[in-house]
Amino acid sequence: MKTPFITKEALAKITAEFPTPFHLYDEKGIRETARAVNAAFAWNPGFKEYFAVKATPNPTILKILQEEGCGVDCATDVELMMSHKLGFKDISFTSNDTKAAEFVYAREIDAMINLDAYEHIAFLEEVAGLPQTVSLRYNPGGVFSLGTDIMDHPEESKFGMTHDQLIQGYKDLKVKGVKSFGLHAFLASNTVTNDYYPTLAAQLFNLAVEIKEKTGVSLDFINLSGGVGIDYSPANKQNDIAVIGEGVHQEFDKILVPNGLGHIKIFTELGRFMLAPHGHLVTKVLHLKDTYRHYVGVDASAVNLLRPAMYDAYHHITNISNPDGNIETVDVTGSLCENNDKFAKNRELPEARVGDTLIIHDTGAHGFSMGYNYNGRLRSAEILYQEDGGARMIRRAEKPEDYFATLYGFDFEK
């Protein structure tokens, strides 16, 4: 079962100061996970975790990860701007359908560019020039399986280039004077198995050997990207990053070292694994309603956490105010004018009463960042639960004037 990272008493102090809904992040947990990831890959001298900014784009969170030795992976120019402003030196730029101005800015701040398409080699060269280091993103097509289990369908993904495009890409880049090369691949999302990374690594390591044989390019780094996920379910059977790291190590020693590629650096982009468990969406019960189902209406909505509405994703819910209440079967809903604005459907939960505080688990990644303003609902605050037990706001809640700020010819004050 999942338990909150904060006690009822400590949370009551925070909700007394900061109105719900808000996203709450656990600094201690974030630091512990970052250290565990670094320890798991310490066998590789060049290892670097490039945290995916899109998962949790908050400067305070990014600074914590920076202090723990992490770099950042950015998908847009705005994410690049934030990361550069924060003083990150290790910045990768993994984008798709990229604007010329974004490539130009990435070159200006010396971000490591990871190209999504073969056609982008010529495009990048034309609009911004080729840097000394270039990485290429690989998509093998087909399906990605572990044993008899199909994990994902790369052939349906818009990301990456084919095997033949990849080989030709390295040949072209070498001729054009690029000196340092990387390989990147993302083949499955949110896997909960210790076998994903080692299996992916073996494929990419063998590909690195082939690249060397066919192009003369000796890769400098291989980015295993994301995909190592978390168990959102009540079973809470989480990945063991130490086992995963050792599994990659074994494949590294078996494939790369004998082929003269033992110098290759290993990079990761573990946004969800790094942050998701260390975030709670904290919300209060506003209304109870009985029709064909029993509804628990809360002050949060899909504006604050889109995943259940978009993906029908499961997020565990704890009634921290009444954890021992009688079990009821309920739908937990927000206030948007859409029937998919539900955090839970036919979920068994302890009795929820008006005014109770509910915790929605595992919102530390792809929670606040996917927020929007449908119905004029405003995005919530973000609060950091510090290692010393204190709490501070790291992003204020939006105000109506924020919502109206981009509208020309509309004076909110009148």
Mean pLDDT confidence for 384-400: 97
**How many angstroms from the chain centroid is the CA of residue 83?**
15
Q: What is the pLDDT of residue 150?
A: 60
Per-residue confidence (pLDDT) for residue 42, from 0 to 100: 98
Q: Is pLDDT above 80 for 106?
A: yes
Q: If you average pLDDT over residues 322-347, what whole number do you get?
A: 97
Structure token digits, residue 179: 């000196």
Average pLDDT of span 307-331:
97
CATH number attached to the domain at 95-269: 3.20.20.10
Would you state the pLDDT for residue 156? 81
78 pLDDT band, cuts 50/70/90, is: very high
**Percentage of residues in the chain having pLDDT higher than 90:** 92
Average pLDDT score over residue span 373-400: 97
Query: In this predicted structure, what is the pLDDT of residue 44?
Result: 98
The tens digit of pLDDT for each residue in 221-230 reads 999 999 999 9
Q: What CATH number should be reported for the domain whose range is 277-404?
A: 2.40.37.10
2-59 tens-digit pLDDT? 999 999 999 999 999 999 999 999 999 999 999 999 999 999 999 999 999 999 999 9
pLDDT of residue 217: 97
pTM: 0.95
Give pLDDT tens digits for 51-63.
999 999 999 999 9
Give tens-digit pLDDT for 134-188. 999 999 887 776 665 666 677 888 899 999 999 999 999 999 999 999 999 988 8
What mean pLDDT comes out for the span 112-116? 98
Provide the mean pLDDT of the chain: 96
- Sequence spans of domains, the chain: 95-269, 277-404
Does residue 286 surpass a pLDDT of 90?
yes
